[in-house]
Structure 1
Amino acid sequence: MPKNYSIRSSFIDTAETDITYPDPKKVLKQSLMIPGWGQVTNKQTWKVPIVYGLIGGLTYYSVYLHKKYHDYRAAYYNLNPDTPDDNRFGDTPDYIPDNANLSALQQNRNFFRNRRDLVYVFVGLSYALNAIDAYVFAHLRSFDVSDDLSMGVEIQPAIIATNYATHAPSISFSINF
């Protein structure tokens, strides 16, 4: 049976109530299994479209970059006179002219490959950020954010015993949270 944290809280105008919060480790595992599940468990469903929009948008962009990389790779090898014309990477796309500059094709191929790889890293970071967000919020969920977050400072005179027979005047300073 999963552990739940239970915090007994009392307010001035209400009776004592028991509030249970989900286990942060369980929330972390849920978010790692299915992105957004931890946010739903934490009752932050408004974050789920953001999570899926970010991961989905980056994934879509990586697929686009991957297709462009394959197009320029095929064009570079098909139009290069040093490589045999075997079309091993597919046909040259129609939007790339047959008289294209080989160094420009190679630069475009490398650009799309590097950008695609960088977007893969961002997809992984977005996935991890989703899980970290759910885990941290599950830990901070029991944090008191009521309007009664006050601090009391008190300064008053006091007497300190310096040794067995003598006393010295002093000032007492205390802070209550």
Structure 2
Amino acid sequence: MKIRSFILPLLLLFTLQLTAQEDTLAIAADEVVQEPAYRPYDPLSPARAAFYSAVLPGLGQAYNGKYWKIPIVYTALGVGVYFYRENDRQYDRYRSAYKSRIAGKTDDEFSNENGQPIVSTNALIEAQRFYQRNKEISVLVTVGLYALNIIDANVDAHLQQFNVSEDLSLRPSLDYDRFSGTAGYGLTLNFNF
């Protein structure tokens, strides 16, 4: 008799506990809003991102939400412009000294106080060629980095539309032998599409 009086309240308590858990789960399931893990497919999104990056470098990265790439884009382009300007300044120095020597003057910055040349005229010509070549390389590198900025925005917009869901994952499972009732030591990889 004591056991029955003890079991009946215990079963009642257990039933109430299960009912309370179901209500909590039902409320929690109603409150959860499912958002897709990726953007819906927009075929013009990559073209739009590339166009934005072509108009203003870094704008395509901002359109894609990759704000951390914007300083990298501007640093890369700034370095290219800096080297162009520095090579242009050096080229102008040697070019004006060469023009001064051709005109018969001896007061350029590559001559001493007595008018004796420290750097020969042939060296001035070679320096001009060197800095002219470096200017051209700087322009090519800067244009290449600008194009890379556009390509990065385009590819990043394409990859954001790539669907990577839980259905496209590998899940290991342990093999269970039903005939002998024991677990096998094999490993199976399942592809769920």
Q: TM-score range by the shorter chain?
A: 0.5 to 0.7
> Using a 3 Å threshold, how does the CA distance of structure 1 residues 16 and 102 change in structure 2: closer, same or farther?
closer
**Corresponding residue for 1:105?**
124
What SS does the corresponding residue of 1:119 show, helix, strand or coil?
helix
Quick one: higher RCO (CA 8 Å, sep 6+), 1 or 2?
2
Percent sequence identity over aligned pairs: 33
Higher helix proportion (structure 1 or 2): 2
Q: Does 2:37 match 1:15? A: no
Q: Does 2:43 match 1:24? A: no
Distance in 1 between the 2:92 and 2:166 partners? 58
Unaligned runs of 5+ in 2: 1-31, 172-190
**Corresponding residue for 2:74?**
52
Counterpart of 1:131, as a letter, is: I
The TM-score, its normalising length taken from structure 1, stands at 0.66
Larger-gyration structure (1/2): 2
**Corresponding residue for 1:42?**
64
Structure 1 vs Structure 2 CA RMSD: 2.9
Counterpart of 1:143, as a letter, is: F
Unaligned runs of 5+ in 1: 1-12, 153-174
Alignment of 1:21-170 (within 5 A): 23-79=45-101, 83-85=102-104, 92=108, 94=109, 96-97=110-111, 98=115, 99=117, 100-145=119-164, 149-151=168-170
Q: How many pairs align?
A: 136
How big is each residue's C-alpha offset from its partner over 1:112-138, in whole Å with a ceiling of 9 and x where there is no partner? 110111000001001000000000100
Higher strand proportion (structure 1 or 2): 1
Distance in 2 between the 1:109 and 1:143 partners? 51
The TM-score, its normalising length taken from structure 2, stands at 0.61
